Each structure stands twice: as structure tokens, then as C-alpha cells.
Structure 1
């Protein structure tokens, strides 16, 4: 294998934590993948992976080198133009995104892609949970929030804000909060999988304890309650953009918002189809414009 293939082998093993699974994904024998990583470690003069009969994990040098490998692979993939670049795209792509973000922002990209590439099909899984790209056979995922350390290749495509909103009717009745500390005097609607007695809303370095009158486990339920005038809720900006534009909700405490939440496109390391690369480029370009 050449150096690029060694990087792909290393990044894929790091992602899947298995030489045999990495070999299957890369279309290589386990022995070839083992030799590639051994050659890479020899050339670098350091061990990148801890290997036992049951597990594979990164060494400290491996963690540092993984980031460099991922950047190199992403750059090469972006520049690579196959000899059949003008042939029609064929096949099936699998894409996942959070439910509402996917409905608002990803589905228009999918329909535009399908309109242009008539021999392609796309499977879209809109889920408010993180799925394993390897286990689910996902080609591209949208992730909102800070990414944990992993071997996934990530591309930043924009940011969304964390906003506090309420209906004009509620703000007229209860007043508009000017400082985060005044939230303790307001009716709050909290988003949680459980029902705690209290909750904490963060604003930069400040964390304010609120006692929500309503706790729900979906953002849409919290938004609906706020739009009905029950109180204030805290959600991501894209979830309420349309209601804010329509005047049904107002953003408050805008000057105290925490730093924006990043949005990334992520995919597994390793060779990708021309269709996957083409869709990813369209998605990145479109989302950067939409998220501005």
C-alpha cells in the first residue's frame, strides 16, 4: 500500500476498533491491513495502536497522528477526480440527520440531488440520536454539537444558536427578561428525558437554576407549549426560525447567548464513492449558505 492507503487503513481501524472489520470495509485482507499499519508505525518510529486479542485502541501518539491522517484523507478525497467523472451517478446513498434539522435543511438537499442524478436513490434516516455509521451502513451524517474524539472525518458547515423564546402574549403578561438571573421569576419549559425538580440553563460562564413548570422530552413539545403562551423555553435557533419569523415567538436574552453550536458533516474514513463525494459537496455548500 502507498502512504495514502496506509493512512486510510489506520483511520479505519481506529474508527472500527477492529482489523478484520476494517479489512472488510476497505476490501483488503486482514494481513494487508496489518502490514500497512506496521509499515506506517515503522516509518514514524512509534506505535500508533494498542493491540490485544480482544481490543484495539489508540496510543497517545496514535491519537495525535489520527487527526493529521483524517485531514490528509479529507483533502485528497476533495481533490480526487475519477476518470469517469462525467458518467451518470448510480447507486444508493444512506444519510442521517436530526429529525427537525433533516426535515428543514437536509431533505431539500436530497430532493435537489435526486432531481439532478436520476439514476441515484437515497435512504434518509431522521433520528434524534447518534447512530453508528459503520453498524448502520451510513454514508454521511449531520451532527449538531461538539464532536467527541473519534476517527470520523468531519467537515464544519455552520453553526446554530441556543436561544430562549416565548410568545408575545406571555411576554406582555409576564414581562421580558433582561438578565438570565431574572428567569427564576418566570415560567420555564425545560427539555429533558427525565423530570427533574430543577434544571440549569447556561449562558456563557453563568449557569442559572430554573424550576420548570413543564418538562418534556422533545423540542417540538417545548416549542408548542411556548407558542401557546405557557412560558419561556430554550432550544436551538433552527427549531424556531419559522415561528420567530412569523411573529409567534420572540427571542429574548440574545446578548447573553452561549457560543454557537457547531454543525458538521461526518463520514467514515476510507475510500468513498463518487456519488457520496458529490452529495457531500452539495450538502456542504448548501448548508453553509443556509446556516450563514
Structure 2
């Protein structure tokens, strides 16, 4: 109950999730603090905060719950045959364009496995969300996860032919400071970064966007409409470029592509459903991402 209270952010929210009265939950937390002989939670009107002892207690409790969950999976036969539920998390657009087709093929091949797909552009916590597999963009920081690189994605600047005819084609990233731009706000794409082809030095450009959006689809649509040039991942604009609705610009100034990894927790014994998914997904994701990670020579 303490773990649920922390995860939900309040006793009332945890009580709703657990479907018990708030008074019952409060009494259980108080009894736990009395049992361990120290304060675990600091309750304010706005949120819950863990004491130092509470942080240690919750971290240990999560490890125990993870171990119990693994034993339950073992008892259910997940270590004997590929069956059960897999929780997969991936960025929203990567899921739609690259991961979902692989998942569809996997489900057809393994009828005893079901998948819960969590689509989020923020990194979902493995333990809190009971995640089995994550597809993540960018440099890795958490060394406790086992990572397999499956490809990379180019960051590209595109603009409509009409806009280029009207405003001219920028010859260097510095020209974008006064150029009509559409900015897609994303951790991997903000601020706009470029590479000097002579020195290999990476630098950023601050522009004055005419439009700021929160999804790549909106950025692409706005660019097609001629509102401004935009910086997105290449697979987001591949169809529009092929159709002649957008054109690549400033390709010689592109930075290194963003790496894409498949990650999972390190386990002493891996459930067969997880082993099956990794073996199935890795080569197919590599194939789907292969065309998008190469910086063209100009």
C-alpha cells in the first residue's frame, strides 16, 4: 500500500486504485510506520514525500515485488514456453511507423502471447510499469539495462517547394535564424543541432518559429502547407518527400543519426516470451530502420 501511495502521488489516488477507503489505507500506512519504528512518509496538502528511510524501504519493496512477479510468471509456465503478457514501451511515432508492424507479425507467430504496448515519448520506468522491453531513442544512461542496438534515425530539415521558391533555399544553418520555421518540441530534436562539415563541430541554431507544435505529424503537415521549414526524424517525412511535397535541405550539415536501442532488464533466467520477442524483433527492426540511419554524402 505504501508503494501504491508513492506511485499514485496521494493517499486518495492510491485508495481509488486499490479500491479501499482512504481511512483504511491511512491506517495501514500508520501501522507500517509504527511497526518499523520510523517515519516513512511526509504528507502535505499537495503531495507525498518520502523520508530517507521511506525511500530505502520503497526501493527494497519494489525489488521484492519484482521478485514475486517473476516467481508468479515462473509458476504460470512463462519459463517453460513462450506464453503470457509482454509489456513493451516505445516512443509514439516509432511505435506507429516501425514497431507495430513487427508486433503484428510477432502476435501472429506466437498465439499464446499477448502484448500491452505503452506509447510514450517519455522514458517509462521499468519497475513501476512492469515493462519487459523498451525501444528508446538517444544515448543510453542506465547501465542496469541490457541494450541491443537496432538502428538509428536521421534528423532532417525539410521544406515545401513553394516555400523554397518564395524564400530561397538556405545555404547554411545560420540562414534559418531569419527563415520561416515550424518547431516540433521534442527532447531529441530541441534545440536544432547541426554539424560543421569542415571541423565536425556540433552547434545549435536559435530561430524564431512561426509555429510551435507538439507532434511530428503536425510539423510535417504545416511544412507541406508552406508555413515554414521543419526539423523532424527522417521516417516522419519519408512519404511526403517521396511524393514531392517536401524537399530535404542542409543535408551536408546533419549531425550523427540518433541511435535506437531495444532494452530489457538483466535477469538470471529470461522468460521464454521475452527471449522469443527479442529474437523475433531485433532483426526485423534492424531491417526497418536500416534505410533511415545513413547520413547521405553531398
**Displacement after TM superposition at 1:20 (Å):** 4.1
Equivalent in the alignment of 1:278: 276
DSSP-derived class of the 1:190 partner? strand
Which stretch of structure 1 is more off in the superposition, 218-227 or 257-266?
A: 218-227
Answer yes or no: is the 8 Å Cα contact 2:79–2:272 preserved in 1. Answer: no
Q: How many angstroms apart in 2 are the aligned matches of 1:123 and 1:27? A: 20
- Whether 2:231 is the aligned partner of 1:190: answer no
Q: Does the residue aligned with 2:127 lie in a helix, a strand or coil?
A: helix
Correspondence for 1:203 among 194, 200, 209 = 194
Structure 2: gaps of 5 or more residues:
1-56, 70-77, 196-201, 291-298
| Secondary structure at 1:125 match in 2 | strand
1:57-80 CA distance string (max 9 Å, x none)? xxxxxxxxxxxxxxxxxxxxxxxx
Partner secondary structure for residue 171 of structure 1:
helix
Identify the residue that residue 95 of structure 1 maps to in structure 2. Answer: 88
In the TM superposition, residue 21 of structure 1 has moved relative to its aligned partner by: 2.8
How much is the aligned-residue C-alpha RMSD, in angstroms? 2.3
SS in structure 1 of the partner of residue 139 of structure 2: coil
Partner Cα separation in structure 1 for residue 113 and residue 142 of structure 2:
33
Q: Which residue is equivalent to 1:263?
A: 260
Provide the TM-score with structure 1 as the length reference.
Answer: 0.68
Taking a change above 3 Å as real, the CA distance of residues 114 and 164 of structure 1, as seen in their structure-2 partners, is: same
The match for 1:246 is 243
Question: What is the TM-score with the length of structure 2 in the denominator?
Answer: 0.67
| TM-aligned CA deviation for residue 217 of structure 1 | 2.1
Residue pair 1:188, 1:232 contacting (<8 A) in 2 also: yes
Q: What do the CA deviations read for 1:250-289 (whole angstroms, capped 9, x no partner)?
A: 1111110011100011112223211111111221111111
Say if 1:23 and 1:225 are closer, same or farther in 2 by CA, change over 3 A. same
- Closer/same/farther in 2, CA of residues 258 and 21 from structure 1, 3 Å limit: same
Counterpart-to-counterpart distance in 1, 2:142 and 2:93 = 25
Does residue 18 (structure 1) correspond to residue 59 (structure 2)? The answer is: yes
Question: Per the alignment, in what secondary structure is the counterpart of residue 128 of structure 2?
Answer: helix
Hey, what's the Cα distance between the residues in 2 that align with 1:233 and 1:176?
Answer: 13
**In 2: Cα distance, 1:254 partner to 1:165 partner:** 9
Residues 161 and 261 in structure 1, CA contact (< 8 A), matched pair in contact too: yes
The CA deviation string for residues 137-162 of structure 1, in whole angstroms up to 9 with x for no partner, is 11101101112234121111111011
Change (3 A) 1:83 1:118: closer
Would the alpha carbon gap of residues 154 and 83 (structure 1) be closer, same or farther in structure 2, given more than 3 Å must change?
closer
C-alpha distance after superposition, 1:146-202 (max 9, x if no partner): 122341211111110111111122112211112111112310111238xxxxx8422
Report if the CA contact (8 A) 1:191-1:219 is conserved.
yes
**In structure 2, do the counterparts of structure 1 residues 20 and 185 end up closer, same or farther at CA, with 3 Å as the change threshold?**
closer
SS at match of 1:291: helix
Q: Distance in 1 between matches of 2:225 and 2:266?
A: 46
C-alpha contact (below 8 Å) 1:203/1:256 kept by paired residues:
yes
2:216 to 216, 219, 222: 219
SS in 2 for 1:135: coil
Q: Secondary structure at the match of 2:142?
A: coil
- Name the SS of the counterpart of 1:136 in structure 2: coil
